Every structure is written in C-alpha cells, then in structure tokens.
C-alpha cells in the first residue's frame, strides 16, 4: 500500500518505537497524528517531521483515559482528516510482585496496554466501517508465555493479541485490515534500565523499519525478530521449574524505572 497522503495516528509517539515509526510514516508521505501523554516530546517530534518536509499534528492525551483518547483522535481528525491507519503503540510495564500484590501497577498496565488500545479502536472504527482502513496494535512476544515476575504484563499483551485476532476475523469482510505487531527486546528508554543481557535486542529505528514493512504488507501478525520468536514459543513447552530457575535472578533484583505515565517503576519484558 502507499502511505502518501494517508492519515496515520500513532499512540505512544513521544519515545521509542512510536517516535521512530511516526518519523518513518511521515517520510513515506503520511500525515501523522502524534498521541502521547507528554506534549513537549510530541512538539519536538512534530518539528523534526516538519523540517524534513512532512506533516504532523500533536494531540496530547493519556490513552488510558477514554475521554482523552477520543478527544485526541478527534483533534487529529479535525487537523488532518479521517484516519486511514491507527497504530495503537502506547504501553507500560511493571513487575508483578507477590507480597503485597502491586494491584495499582497491574491496573495501570491493563488500563494503558489493553483499554488504551480498545479506546483508540473505538474512536476510529465507526468511520473506518464506512470507508475502510487499517488498524494495528503493538503487542509483544511476551504475549506467548506467562513469565514469573511478569504475569500481569504478559497477560495484558496476551489480551491485546487475542482482542486483535478476534477483531481481524470480525472485520475481514469490512475493508479494514488488522495487524498485530509482536516485537522482542527493543532498545528504548524503558529497556535502558534492564541490567540483564537482552537477547537479540534491536534499536528502535530498526524495529520501526520492520514494522513499516508489516504495515505495508498488511500482515495479520508480525513477530520479530525470528530468534526471540522461536525462543518464546519454545518456552511454552519448558517445565515450570526451568522457567522459574531462568527467571530467578531477574525476580531477585528486577530493574525499575518510572513509567511515562508517571506511575510505578517499570522493567520491560520482551
């Protein structure tokens, strides 16, 4: 497909994959709506896109808030026109603690990772049902296995993947493509705190380049890189004791950082 003059909304565009994907979409000729909680990084990104000859509109919002999410996408619509492509990329992560259970962090992950995606889909779907379009969401290879210490994060990403799968089948005759994107480890501000060696980690711009290819092909599911994909799928068949032993050092000293949404500390799983 051609991205020229298409309106693309990218949530979580203030850093990481979202930042680089928005730049690549703009370079390919798309008019890009930039959605994230922090205005200043979005303004900087919009300026970079404009200086390169592209078109971008800034619409700050906490995607986990339904009203803010809808208002941001409506603002993009008003500035750029009807949305042709939605990339629901925004996400956060925190470790899953046992005693006490960090329920506030768990709720935050589901609010942003799952409901933030659903709210964005809700905002663009009525118009897409009339004129067609493309809906994509960034899940994770962590969706394929519940990892100790990352139970809630894995569950939230599994929910994203399952929701998108059902949506894809439901919309197959509606002229709306649906793509689920499942990356492995990507070097972003959120993974910079990880002290363990991340296997097959890639730069965010390289991840964005690969995602662009999947969007262009309108892939149903895009898992990458293949090495981490194979590893995660094999992990599903390992005995629990082996998974627990492998994750033991991580759970004894999990990496922490503040999430972009100002919530609890967040390590990043694949």
Residue 269 lies inside a defined structural domain of this protein? no
What span, in angstroms and rounded, lies between the C-alpha atoms of 42 and 116?
18
Active-site hit among 144, 153, 163, 250: 153
Burial 228-245 (b: 16+ CB within 10 A, else e): bbebbeebeeeeeeebee
Residue 225 main-chain phi, psi, to 5 deg? -75, 170
Is it the case that residue 4 has pLDDT exceeding 80? Answer: yes
Is it the case that residue 164 has pLDDT exceeding 90? Answer: yes
Q: What is the pLDDT of residue 252?
A: 72
Least confidently predicted of 54-68, 131-145, 178-192 = 178-192
Is it the case that residue 269 has pLDDT exceeding 60? Answer: no
What span, in angstroms and rounded, lies between the C-alpha atoms of 166 and 227?
27
Residue 257 lies inside a defined structural domain of this protein? no
Residue 2 lies inside a defined structural domain of this protein? no
Q: 19: closest CA among 73, 61, 56?
A: 56
Q: How many domains does the chain have?
A: 1
Residue 261 lies inside a defined structural domain of this protein? no
CATH of the domain at 182: 3.40.50.720
Residues of the chain with pLDDT > 70: what percent? 88
What span, in angstroms and rounded, lies between the C-alpha atoms of 13 and 35?
6
pLDDT grade for 66, boundaries at 50, 70 and 90 = very high
- Which domain, by its residues, includes 18? 7-252
Q: What is the pLDDT of residue 236?
A: 87
Is it the case that residue 257 has pLDDT exceeding 50? Answer: no
144 is catalytic: no
Q: 136: closest CA among 36, 38, 18, 49?
A: 18
Q: What is the pLDDT of residue 255?
A: 60
Is it the case that residue 270 has pLDDT exceeding 80? Answer: no
Residue 262 lies inside a defined structural domain of this protein? no
Residue 132 lies inside a defined structural domain of this protein? yes
Residue 189 lies inside a defined structural domain of this protein? yes
Predicted confidence (pLDDT) per residue in 11-62, tens digit: 999 999 999 999 999 999 999 999 999 999 999 999 999 999 999 999 999 9
Q: What is the pLDDT of residue 212?
A: 98
Q: Is the entire prediction scored with pTM above 0.95?
A: no
Q: What is the pLDDT of residue 259?
A: 40
Mean pLDDT of the 226-249 span = 87
């Amino acid at each position: 497909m051609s991205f020229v003059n298409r309106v693309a909304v990218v949530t979580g565009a203030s850093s990481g994959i979202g930042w680089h994907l928005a730049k690549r979409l703009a370079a390919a000729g798309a008019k890009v709506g930039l959605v994230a909680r922090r205005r200043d990084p979005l303004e900087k990104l919009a300026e970079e896109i404009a200086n390169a000859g592209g078109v971008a509109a800034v619409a700050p919002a906490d995607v986990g808030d339904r009203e803010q999410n809808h208002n941001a996408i409506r603002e993009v619509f008003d500035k750029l026109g009807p949305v042709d492509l939605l990339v629901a990329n925004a996400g956060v992560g925190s470790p899953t603690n046992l005693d006490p259970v960090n329920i506030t962090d768990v709720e935050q992950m589901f609010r942003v990772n799952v409901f933030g995606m659903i709210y964005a889909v809700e905002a663009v779907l009525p118009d897409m049902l009339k004129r067609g379009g493309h809906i994509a969401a960034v899940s994770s290879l962590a969706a394929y296995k519940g990892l100790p210490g990352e139970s809630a994060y894995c569950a939230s990403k599994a929910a994203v993947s399952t929701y998108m799968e059902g949506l894809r089948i439901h919309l197959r005759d509606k002229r709306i493509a649906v793509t689920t994107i499942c990356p492995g480890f990507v070097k972003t501000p959120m993974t910079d705190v990880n002290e363990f060696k991340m296997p097959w980690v890639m730069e965010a711009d390289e991840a964005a380049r690969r995602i662009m290819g999947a969007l262009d092909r309108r892939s149903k599911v895009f898992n990458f890189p293949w090495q981490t994909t194979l590893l995660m799928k094999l992990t599903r068949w390992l005995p629990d004791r082996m998974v627990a032993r492998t994750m033991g050092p991580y759970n004894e000293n999990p990496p922490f950082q503040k999430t972009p949404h100002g919530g609890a500390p967040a390590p990043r799983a694949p």
